[in-house]
Amino acid sequence: MTDIKIFVSDDVSESGLEPLRSAGFAVEKRAGLKGAELLEAVRECDGLIVRSETKVTTEVLDAAGRLRAIGRAGVGVDNIDVPAATARGVVVMNAPDGNTMTTAEHTLALLLALARRVPQGNASLKASRWERKQFVGVELRGKTLGIVGLGRIGRVVASRARGFEMKVVAFDPFIVPEQARELDLELATLEEVCARADFITVHTPLTPETRGIIGAREFSQMKTGVRVINCARGGLVDERALYSAIKEGRVAGAALDVFEQEPPPPDHPLLALEEVVVTPHLGASTTEAQEGVAVTVAEQMRDYFLTGALRGAVNFPAVAAHELVLLKPYMTLAERLGMFQSQLIDEAVREVQLEFAGEVAELDATPVTRSFIAGLLRNMSARVNVVNALLIAEERGIGVTTSYKRGSVAGDLTPAIRTRVLTGKGEHTVAGALFGQQSDGRITEIDGFRIEATPAGNMLITRSSDVPGVIGRVGMCLGTHGVNISRFHLGRRARGGEAIAVIETDAPLDDATLAELRSFEQVISARQIELDA
């Protein structure tokens, strides 16, 4: 597998990269590259691993023509242009659990440092001053901790805060009351959290909706003497508004591990305030966390290149490992059905309809839908894959609808996947099912004709009148042109009507052979389909 090249552009744990090297991938690590050097370094890589320093922009993505996967050794992906990566079919992965404990612990460290004024006392004593009375702090016991965002980190912070005998009140519009009771905390509106909390900590991702979630309005609602902590993302707390709130005396102190601009400029006004405790984005900076996120991303990237498994992808639906095992053969079948359909049509696709039955209908079949669209559009877009398939379909104005026949049993009469592709001139339906050990996918229906064929290799599809001599004449033509038939499948609706044949051949047909077949009076159409073996 040395043809797979992984470039690591940030200081990622060496031991964490071992899963990639053990798989035989070529791994190159050069941290700190910028501009033209970075663009040149990513030009031939299949995978790119970054932390927070490298900015994966459209320029970087355009330079990396072979790039198929980006791994973020951490949680946030705001340094990666995810929409641009998705449009190019590049999967973006992160390690959502890797920094949970270490960031939560750093939040608690800053909480304690802020409450007891530890950094100020340390600086004073090291300057040869003994100023005990100047650094009187406050206890955590009995105080109310307001948490904005109850994701993985917010929940760990809540759990540890209760160990300090703090009351916890939280705002998160995506948490239901039942979950709050399980977490042993109280849910409230953002306004209520601001009004009641003695300490407020923020743990949300940075999005257009959450930027400045703690701003001038929120500071005006807080009780005098409140203390604010941000170990999540710079920009969640409005830094100008925080400075004003501290100077006005409403906020007693703040502890910041992150800033809107990193590193912050030396003249940043918050750095000049004694009430503010700062650290240089150390939330994920433990030996255990850095190795953990590197291993997680390396394993995810290894599995993606070896088996196509997608774990930790932020621009692809999350699929549990056991579900992915069940879905994989259906995804393969769907992609082949899509490739088959794409070669049946000559007009622009207007709409796609998918129906799922049996085992696949009991699961979230979104990855199967994506696989079909990727196969269908493969010849229309060089970069289409399961990551960007739905986006490309949307850009082309192709409507995609799905339906599930839950409680059904897939079989000869009820295929696992039925696909309908509508164009401006008509429609084609192709259905398929799995046989054997849940891996041998077959076509079971073409345009209403029941048939069984393996969607692989070279296939000749003919439609003809169901009269004697047609099969023999087609076979004679192929033999005359040196084309060997490996399998022959025939389907018809009624005797003497129209018949369809799927003829698997050892080699593709040339134009002269196809033209001769189409010249036969009884042959309505003859079309060659070429699929990967």
456-533: CATH topology: Alpha-Beta Plaits (3.30.70)
Instruction: Please state the rounded mean pLDDT for residues 73-88.
Output: 88
Please tell me the CATH code under which domain 100-278 is placed: 3.40.50.720
- The reported pLDDT for the residue numbered 318 is 67
Per-domain residue ranges of the chain: 5-97+288-307, 100-278, 321-455, 456-533
pLDDT at 322 over 90: no
Q: Is the pLDDT higher at 257 or at 381?
A: 257
Closest to 342 measured CA to CA, from 500, 531, 533: 531
The residue assigned the tokens 């164009």 is 423
Between helix 118-126 and helix 100-116 the angle, nearest 10°, is 60
* 382-415 burial: b if 16+ Cβ within 10 Å, else e: eebbbbbbbbbbeeeebebeeebbeebebeeebb
Quick one: CATH architecture of 321-455?
Answer: 2-Layer Sandwich (3.30)
pLDDT tier, 443 (very low <50, low <70, confident <90, very high otherwise): very high
Q: What percent of the chain has pLDDT over 90?
A: 70
Task: Using the structure block, give the residue that is written with the tokens 């849910």.
Answer: 187
- Tell me what percent of the residues of the chain surpass a pLDDT of 70: 96
Provide the pLDDT confidence category of residue 17 given band limits of 50, 70 and 90. Answer: very high
C-alpha to C-alpha distance for 321 and 332, rounded to whole angstroms: 17
Which CATH topology does 5-97+288-307 take? Rossmann fold (3.40.50)
* 321 band by pLDDT with thresholds 50, 70 and 90: low
Measured in degrees and rounded to the nearest 5, phi and psi for residue 512 equal -65, -40
- pLDDT confidence of 2, banded at 50, 70, 90? low
Q: Are 410 and 359 a contacting pair, CB within 8 Å?
A: yes
Residue closest to 444 by CA, chosen among 329, 533, 333: 333
Residue 403 is predicted with a pLDDT of 95
- Asked which of 134-148, 245-259, 316-330, 409-423 is least confident by mean pLDDT, the reply is 316-330
Q: Which string of b and e fits 438-450 if b means at least 16 CB within 10 Å?
A: eeebbbbbbbebe
Tell me the two tokens of residue 65: 């023509």
What average pLDDT does range 377-381 have in this prediction? 75
User: What span, in angstroms and rounded, lies between the C-alpha atoms of 469 and 523?
Assistant: 11
In terms of DSSP bridges, do strands 26-29 and 5-8 run parallel, antiparallel, or are they unpaired?
A: parallel
How far is C-alpha 397 from the geometric centre of its chain's CA atoms?
Answer: 23
Q: What's the pLDDT score for residue 238?
A: 97
Mean pLDDT of 363-387: 85
Q: Which residues pair with 523 in a beta bridge?
A: 464
The arithmetic mean of pLDDT across residues 303-307, rounded, is 88
pLDDT at 492: 87
Tell me, what's the pLDDT at 84?
92
Q: Is the pLDDT of residue 437 over 60?
A: no
Same fold, 5-97+288-307 and 100-278: yes
Is omega for the bond preceding 508 within 30 degrees of 0, making it cis?
no
In 3D space, the residue among 527, 489, 522 whose CA is nearest the CA of residue 508 turns out to be: 527
Classify burial at 36, counting beta carbons within 10 Å of its beta carbon; exposed 0-12, middle 13-18, buried 19 or more.
Answer: exposed
**How high is the mean pLDDT of the chain?**
91
Catalytic residue among 262, 274, 323, 395: 262
pLDDT band at 1 (very low <50, low <70, confident <90, very high): very low
For residue 346, give Cα distances in angstroms to 342, 349, 380, 423, 509: 8, 9, 12, 9, 19
Whole-angstrom distance, CA of residue 424 vs CA of residue 345: 11
Containing H/E element for 87? helix 82-87
Q: Burial letters for 284-312: b for 16+ Cβ neighbours within 10 Å, e otherwise?
A: bebeebbbbbbbbbbbbbbbbbeeebbbb
Q: If you average pLDDT over residues 7-32, what whole number do you get?
A: 93
Angle 152-163/100-116 helices, nearest 10 degrees? 50
In this prediction, residue 411 carries a pLDDT of 67
Lowest mean pLDDT among 57-66, 310-319, 390-399: 310-319
* Rounded CA separation 110/517 (Å): 79
Query: How far, in Å, CA of 293 to CA of 306, rounded?
Result: 20
* CA-based nearest residue to 137, from 118, 122, 116, 119: 116
Question: What are the distances in angstroms from CA 291 to CA 94, 97, 98?
Answer: 14, 12, 9
More confident: 181 or 162: 162
Cα–Cα distance between 237 and 155 in angstroms, integer? Answer: 20
CA distances from 515 to 297, 508, 523 (A): 53, 14, 11
Backbone φ and ψ for 238, nearest 5 degrees, come out as: -70, 110
Looking at 281, 302, 370, 489, which residue is catalytic?
281
Is the confidence at residue 320, as pLDDT, over 70?
Answer: no
pLDDT, position 436? 63
Average pLDDT value for residue range 493-515: 91
In 3D space, the residue among 198, 195, 172 whose CA is nearest the CA of residue 185 turns out to be 172
Counting Cβ atoms within 10 Å, is residue 428 exposed (0-12), middle (13-18) or buried (19+)? Answer: middle
| 489 is a catalytic site residue | no
State the burial class of residue 51 (Cβ atoms within 10 Å of its Cβ: 0-12, 13-18, 19+): buried
Q: Which of 117, 233, 302, 418 is catalytic?
A: 233
- Annotated catalytic, 281? yes
Classify burial at 45, counting beta carbons within 10 Å of its beta carbon; exposed 0-12, middle 13-18, buried 19 or more: buried
Predicted confidence (pLDDT) per residue in 21-64, tens digit: 999 999 999 999 999 999 999 999 999 999 988 999 999 999 99
For the stretch 345-360, pLDDT in tens is 888 899 999 999 999 9
